[in-house]
Amino acid sequence: MLLYCLYLSSQIDKRFSGRRWSIPSRVFSDVTILYPGQKINRTLFYEKLHRLGYRGVFHEPHSKGEFRTLGASLELFLHDFEMPSVRRQGICVRIRFVENLIESIINVNNGDPIPILELEPEEVMLFFGHDRERRRLVSINQVPQHVIYAVLAAEDSRFYQHRGLDPLGILRALYTNLRYASIRQGGSTITQQLAKNYFLTPERTFFRKLKELFMSLTMETMYEKNEILEIYLNEIYLGQKASDAINGIGEASFFYFDKPVEELSLIEGATIACLIRGPNYYSPYVDKTRCKKRRNLVLYAMKDKGWISDEELGDALLSPANAVGYESYGKKAPYFIDYLAYQLTTLYSPQDLSSLGLSIYTTLDTQVQMAAEKALQKGLVRLEKSNPTLTRQDLTKKLQGAVMVMQPKTGYILAMVGGRNYNISQFNRITQARRQPGSAFKPFVYVSGLDKFTPASILSNKPETYEVDGTVWEPKNYAPVSEEKISVRSALAKSINLGTVDLAMRVGLDHIAATANLFGFSIPANPYPSLSLGAYEVTPLNLARAYCAFAADGVLPFPLSLKEVLDENGKILEQRHTSIKRVISPAKAFIMSSMLRSVVEEGTARSLKDMGISFPVGGKTGTTNNFKDAWFVGYTPNILALVWVGFDDGSSIHSSGAGAALPIWAELMSMLPQFVSGSWFKMSPGVVKRTVCSESGDLAVKNRCPHPVEEYFLADNVPKDSCPIHRWVRLRHFMKGVKGFVNPF
């Protein structure tokens, strides 16, 4: 027996001296910032509060996690919030709205205004091991004494008197069970339960029971009582949240009462203690009456031991067995999480992610993610209703779409929707699909020519043929355009193919390819002329990233999904910062944004105005041959969003970028007023404004050019000559009256 106990002691020491539990790593969204003067989508905001575990009440909030709406005001008792850069104790705040505008935020306790309020990150997912256990480790010093008494009363009232085996407890349990002719009490001590749960299988055999006995005696010899109890409190199974097991009192306190274990009341502690016997049988989420009956038995046992008074018992018995409630959400932002997980595998193994208890903070904005998912779903359904030929009965072949939302200056990925339904298809069309961008590629052709051409330069709109590898290629416009000449600005705004090809051939395809590669594309050498019309495959992620440079003063950001990784003690293990490189000058970026704004105001995306988008936007539609792909990439100084619509097999969707993708973009942006300031980019140094003739592109002659327009130019590429068409208009008019005059013009 002694030798066997020595063997058991080595096994126990080996387990206890290492990592005692596999703690799943938690993935969090970014924080949500609120401030007076900010517009918000109140529907999405309240949805976020519910996902964060806040619950509505009718009384004045007095506990963390409660909120009450009063007319135009919201009273919110904040949770505690701690990150390396932020630490905040939960306080009650009052947020006053004027429609969708935050008018004020004040601290209810002292009436002080709060200039900026940060809502805590939202838990997005956990990296589970095979057991799918949710657990928050707590120290025995964090657990209130009345909660410890409740656990002892429920499971082992003589825990501090016995040495792992309690003969009196066994006799008492036997007497009680015989008296009631049913199993009312168990004879196992807390140490025995820990040995069974922590080391042994649940099989009911004499040998397993004997091993449990010896292991309990050995544990009691090796460790102090409080250490055994601490391990037990962190180990016990206390319920189920969907497919996730709730283990340990730390996790249970949040699951049932939305508070840390330190704040559990007597009633709440007794409720958790009563669950140990049968978590899913006595759960207040399953049967409140049954739970209350079992909880009251625990309270009576506490009174019998002298751990609570008659008054405390009387008050507690009258209280109902209520829990805060919970919602079981599916996998949130699944395509984003897959993208993040792929990046994390370069830093941590799957085993580490499911066992080290890491806290992973991301760039995800769950309000933007929800808006993107809703906008895409509604948009695809709307397209199918408007054109029934797009409807497919096979769920794997249905019309698809993808949405990507970024902060242009930081590269933060705010939302990623890689498909219509993750449960049906996990293929991420944002990162994995390679599609032709069509006209959405044209801005990179135009930016390549800004050193030689200006927005006012005149391009040819005449049909031309080109020979490519012995094959004749004759580009055509999407729709007939009567003018034989057109300005650079108009050619981009109206997506004129012939004008774009004319520009590309004059700039040089190799130069365009080299410029585009600076933006993150991988265009091979000796490209075909069709490159200028987007006949080159890209991923939506790369396309969205490239557009960021126009909105970020010419700086190309690296797409960022991960911000920080913390270990279980809150120490920073990884910290990612914005990574950028300059690809064009701020002056060129401003001019390109100006031209892309013309796309929205007078070009292919002008229907945005009819969709309620009244703020300044720059962007570009894209449509590929036979309507296989529909695109729109649009941005403001604060946010950029890309939308793609198409079939995975390349079937025609019978709609353009303006008809299919643009309405989804408009719906998305209408749900995100917090990102719409209504401002536009300030004119960069190196940019000048001049009045030019719209017909010639040269400096307008005052009172002579019939259609002068103001245009932006690079400071070193400003037209120097006056308009040759209208410069001598008065002289020509006079000479027409001179006999024998022949007009040389």
Residue 505 belongs to a domain with what CATH number? 3.40.710.10
Tell me how many degrees the CA angle 599-605-607 measures, rounded to the nearest 5: 135
Distances from the Cα of 566 to the Cαs of 129, 207, 335, 570, 575, in angstroms? Answer: 19, 43, 23, 5, 9
Q: Does residue 166 lie in a domain region?
A: yes
User: Quick check: 741 pLDDT over 50?
Assistant: no
Number of residues assigned to the chain: 745
User: Quick check: 219 pLDDT over 90?
Assistant: no
Average pLDDT over residues 662-667: 98
Statement to judge: residues 53 and 88 lie in one domain: yes
Confidence of residue 178 (pLDDT cuts 50, 70, 90): low
State residue 498's pLDDT score. 96
State residue 200's pLDDT score. 61
State residue 485's pLDDT score. 93
Q: Which of 155-169, 307-321, 638-652, 723-737 has the lowest mean pLDDT?
A: 723-737
- Let me know: does 497 contact 475? Beta carbons within 8 Å: yes
Q: How far apart are CA 620 and CA 661, in angstroms?
A: 11
Q: Does residue 426 lie in a domain region?
A: yes
- The last residue of a domain, from among 287, 317, 347: 317
Confidence of residue 549 (pLDDT cuts 50, 70, 90): very high
Statement to judge: residues 169 and 310 lie in one domain: yes
Higher pLDDT, 451 or 187: 451
Statement to judge: residues 546 and 421 lie in one domain: yes
Higher pLDDT, 18 or 47: 47
Statement to judge: residues 281 and 387 lie in one domain: no
User: Quick check: 355 pLDDT over 80?
Assistant: yes
Q: How far apart are CA 422 and CA 660, in angstroms?
A: 21
Q: Which of 84, 33, 123 is nearest to 574 (CA)?
A: 84
Average pLDDT over residues 280-304: 94
State residue 510's pLDDT score. 94
Confidence of residue 469 (pLDDT cuts 50, 70, 90): confident
Say what percent of the chain tops pLDDT 70. Answer: 92
Q: Which of 504, 557, 509, 536 is nearest to 625 (CA)?
A: 536
State residue 591's pLDDT score. 97
Average pLDDT over residues 436-463: 96
Average pLDDT over residues 615-621: 97
Average pLDDT over residues 253-279: 93
State residue 19's pLDDT score. 65
Sign of CA dihedral 166, 167, 169, 170: positive
Q: Which of 101, 107, 75 is nearest to 88 (CA)?
A: 107
Residue 212 belongs to a domain with what CATH number? 1.10.3810.10
Statement to judge: residues 282 and 381 lie in one domain: no
User: Quick check: 304 pLDDT over 50?
Assistant: yes
- The last residue of a domain, from among 86, 120, 154: 120
Give, for 212, the enclosing helix (H) or strand (E). Answer: helix 206-222
Tell me how many degrees the CA angle 428-431-435 measures, rounded to the nearest 5: 95
Statement to judge: residues 250 and 342 lie in one domain: no
Average pLDDT over residues 23-52: 93
Q: What is the number of alpha carbons within 13 Å of residue 624 lying toward its C-beta?
A: 24
Statement to judge: residues 553 and 526 lie in one domain: no
State residue 745's pLDDT score. 43
- Let me know: does 563 contact 576? Beta carbons within 8 Å: yes
Average pLDDT over residues 268-274: 96
User: Quick check: 180 pLDDT over 60?
Assistant: no
- Give 429's DSSP letter: T
Mean pLDDT over each residue of the chain, to the nearest integer: 89
Structural tokens at position 288: 């409140």
State residue 376's pLDDT score. 98
- Let me know: does 75 contact 60? Beta carbons within 8 Å: yes
Q: Which of 362-371, 568-577, 592-601 has the lowest mean pLDDT?
A: 568-577
Q: How far apart are CA 550 and CA 556, in angstroms?
A: 8
Tell me how many degrees the CA angle 453-455-458 measures, rounded to the nearest 5: 70
Average pLDDT over residues 29-53: 94
**C-beta neighbour count of 527 within 10 angstroms:** 17
Higher pLDDT, 525 or 460: 460
Q: Which of 170-174, 566-570, 733-737 has the lowest mean pLDDT?
A: 733-737
- Let me know: does 485 contact 520? Beta carbons within 8 Å: no
Statement to judge: residues 611 and 726 lie in one domain: no
Give, for 623, the enclosing helix (H) or strand (E). Answer: strand 618-623
Q: How far apart are CA 457 and CA 499, in angstroms?
A: 11
Catalytic machinery residues: 155, 439
Which residue do the tokens 């805060």 mark? 324
Distances from the Cα of 99 to the Cαs of 41, 43, 265, 596, in angstroms? Answer: 10, 12, 39, 32
Q: Does residue 24 lie in a domain region?
A: no
Q: Does residue 182 lie in a domain region?
A: yes
Statement to judge: residues 230 and 368 lie in one domain: no
Statement to judge: residues 136 and 146 lie in one domain: yes
State residue 83's pLDDT score. 78
User: Quick check: 14 pLDDT over 90?
Assistant: no
Q: Does residue 322 lie in a domain region?
A: no
Q: Does residue 602 lie in a domain region?
A: yes
Q: Of the spans 17-21, 23-27, 293-297, 330-334, which averages the highest pLDDT?
A: 293-297
- Which residues, 6+ apart, have CB-to-CB distance to 476 below 8 Å? 463, 497, 498
Q: Which of 291-300, 456-465, 718-727 has the lowest mean pLDDT?
A: 718-727
Secondary structure of 3-46 as H, E, C letters:
HHHHHHHHHHHHHHHCCCCCECEEEECCCEEECCCCECCHHHHH
Q: What is the number of structural domains in the chain?
A: 5
Q: Does residue 21 lie in a domain region?
A: no
Statement to judge: residues 336 and 300 lie in one domain: no
Convert the pLDDT of each residue in 489-539 to its tens digit.
999 999 999 999 999 999 999 999 999 999 999 998 888 999 999 999 999
Q: Are strands 629-635 and 687-693 parallel, antiparallel or unpaired?
A: unpaired
Q: For residue 202, what are the domain limits? A: 131-317
- Which residues, 6+ apart, have CB-to-CB distance to 280 below 8 Å? 239, 240, 286
Statement to judge: residues 490 and 526 lie in one domain: yes
Say what percent of the chain tops pLDDT 90. Answer: 67
Partners of 94 in beta bridges: 75, 106
Q: Does residue 479 lie in a domain region?
A: yes
- The last residue of a domain, from among 669, 697, 718: 669
Tell me how many degrees the CA angle 33-35-40 measures, rounded to the nearest 5: 75
Convert the pLDDT of each residue in 702-730 to its tens digit.
888 988 999 999 999 999 989 988 877 65
State residue 725's pLDDT score. 85
